[in-house]
Copies of this chain bind each other. A is one copy, B any other.
Amino acid sequence: MKDIFKEYLQKYIPTTDEQFDQLSSELTIKHVKKNTILIEQDTIDDSTFFVCNGLIRAYTIDHQGKEHAIFFAPEHWWVNDKNSFYFCEPSLFYVETLEDTDLVQISRKFYDKAAILIPEFAPWQTKILHNSIRFMQKRINLLLAAQAETRYLDFIKMYPNLVHRIPQTMIASYLGITPESLSRVRKVLATKGI
């Protein structure tokens, strides 16, 4: 399983097998059943997960008990709660598996070691952060500007292969609408020929 992570790493930044071996002790393989909670809301956990296979969702629960999907993470995504991982404060959301998932648990130490060992590591992580910021800005703009149908169309365009792996209830909560509304949106789109 670590090999998947190694290959992924080597795809983006030059990493020798020796370098990887030195970092390897900071990595833990986990095979996790569907519907397992990896990070609890309001707890402190500084680990990051790399998804080898499977699917993860991050979500919050509001005071009414309603869930709101913050993001989904399929294969080759990094998952953490910045509040907890970076700032050592209570996490803002839950992180949970939606499928049986193989993942690599990465300690905070890994980042520090990797930054020293591999010169390209830190800049690459910076790029990932920038990417995530522009992604979120796009999403905020959609939530402000577009209505349900547009948001759903954007979702299936962005994640064409996830639409059928994620329950509609959760897609609805990602879009900020109820499952009923999503169902109606889908009905309208179906008459238009998707």
Interface residues of A, Cβ cutoff 8 Å to B: 60, 62, 66, 68-70, 82-83, 86-87, 92-93, 122, 125-127, 129-134, 136-141, 143-146, 173-174, 176
On whether the beta carbons of A145 and B60 are closer than 8 Å, the reply is yes
B residues in contact with A122, CB < 8 Å: 122, 126
On whether the beta carbons of B176 and A144 are closer than 8 Å, the reply is yes
- The verdict on A137 contacting B136 (CB below 8 Å), with A62-B145, A130-B86, A145-B66 known, is yes
Complex-state Cα separation, A154 to B82, whole angstroms: 20
Which single member of B130, B134, B141 contacts A68 (CB below 8 Å)? B141
Closest 9 CB pairs of A and B: A129-B129, A144-B176, A68-B144, A86-B130, A82-B134, A143-B143, A136-B136, A62-B145, A68-B145
Complex-state Cα separation, A127 to B106, whole angstroms: 19
B residues in contact with A82, CB < 8 Å: 130, 133-134, 137
CB-based nearest B residue for A63: B145
18 A-B pairs (CB sep. < 8 Å): A62-B146, A68-B145, A70-B140, A82-B130, A86-B130, A87-B134, A92-B134, A93-B141, A122-B122, A122-B126, A125-B126, A136-B137, A140-B140, A140-B143, A143-B143, A143-B144, A144-B174, A144-B176
